[in-house]
Amino acid sequence: MLLFPNKKGLNAIILTVFTVAAMLFLTECRRGKMQEETTATKTRPAVIGYVGGFHGLLNTGNIEANKLTHINYAFVDIKDGKAFLTNEKTDSTNFRKLNLLKQQNPDLKILISIGGWAWSENFSDAVLTDAARRTFAKSSVAIIKKYNLDGVDIDWEYPGMPGEEGNIFRPDDKQNYTLMFQAIRNELDVLEDEVGKKKLLTTAVAGFAEFLKTTEMEKAQQYLDFVNLMTYDLFQGDTVVHHAGLYPTDIYKTAKSADNAVKAFNAAGVPMEKLVMGIPFYGRKFTVAKMEKGLGQIRTKQEYIDGYTYIKDSLVNKKGYQEYRDEVAKAPYLLNATTGEVLSYDDEQSVREKCKYVLDKKLGGVMFWEYDSDPKKYLLNEIDKALK
């Protein structure tokens, strides 16, 4: 039998219908806005700059926000299984100042980067069980919620293999690495529904194929917006190398290069549009006992040279250093015959080559370590011209 509601019941039904319709409309509006944000981001290749919060208070006045699409704040530590700000007073000030950069570039995204070379020792324990992963994911997302940031970047160096001496790693990391991203993505989805804005999840990965043996990148990538290839520090035992060559050189035998990393990660299931090529704004200096050809020799010493502004202004064809270019690797290097030193780095020309590669291969973009290593912005200006 068909029953008709009385007037009071009919009003209640109408009110319920309108309420549900309004909720559905708002949900679709949020989804549409998030889709627009994602599409807008993808129309231009990403330019992701890592900034070193571990240095202390940032000089954000030196950051040209219009030349960046994303800033990754390095680094957030892990303590007692949770993402942890080691100096919250400084970090909170830095977050506030970074968010102010959106006045210059409203599309700029600010992410926290968790881990890094020095703070990856606790990842394995933090994501060992379902409960642990939920705790870690909630604590990570709680930071970006509290400070109105745009996402989480994971820089685990490395799951399932040694990183810094003393780091914990285990075979279980392979699967737990994937499950960690799933847990974080779940928490980010909840936050997206709350605030109506897209929240990002990215990761920095080793720029060599061995990393693929201890991870499940085809599975992990489905939760990720970008996979940032650290295509630098491509060391090879005690051999003097191009630490960031675009292609393998023919001067010495090697399988390590940015091109080989891109091919390997894509073959492992990561779409080209999610792959981001890493560019070093610093150099690596090797010392040999007796200078012969430099590259391919056995080194006696290696050190970090910070950064490109210093290299360009003070070392290129100065102080006994002679500049050379490897046309196969598309990489510059300096030799000092007197001191037995070889300096490997990226310059404007090699950066142009890498940006052209990114465009030709339709990669997600470029990222660089780190912003303050090139205060005169020689390399950032080149990236901006090539990709904008």
Please identify every residue annotated as catalytic. 157
In angstroms, rounded to a whole number, what is the distance separating the alpha carbons of residues 65 and 47? 10
108 Cβ neighbours under 8 A, 6+ residues apart? 65, 68, 69, 70, 71, 101, 102
Please give the distance of CA 191 from its chain centroid, rounded to a whole number.
Answer: 21
Tokens of 44: 């231009």
In angstroms, rounded to a whole number, what is the distance separating the alpha carbons of residues 47 and 106? 15
Residues 299, 240 contacting (CB under 8 angstroms): yes
Q: Is the sign of the CA dihedral 233, 236, 237, 238 positive or negative?
A: negative
Backbone angles phi, psi at 111, to 5 degrees: -120, 150
Question: DSSP string covering 285-354, please?
Answer: EEEESS-SSSTTSBEEEEEEE--HHHIIIIITT-TT-EEEEETTTTEEEEEETTTTEEEE---HHHHHHH
Torsion angle, alpha carbons of 57, 63, 68, 74, to 10:
-20
Residues 117, 163 contacting (CB under 8 angstroms): yes
Coil/strand/helix, residue 76: strand
Coil/strand/helix, residue 172: coil
In angstroms, rounded to a whole number, what is the distance separating the alpha carbons of residues 295 and 253? 11
- Count CB atoms within 10 A of the CB of residue 5: 11
347 Cβ neighbours under 8 A, 6+ residues apart? 308, 312, 316, 332, 378, 379
In angstroms, rounded to a whole number, what is the distance separating the alpha carbons of residues 380 and 367? 10
Residues 48, 387 contacting (CB under 8 angstroms): no
Q: Is the sign of the CA dihedral 349, 315, 207, 173 positive or negative?
A: negative
DSSP single-letter state for residue 239: B
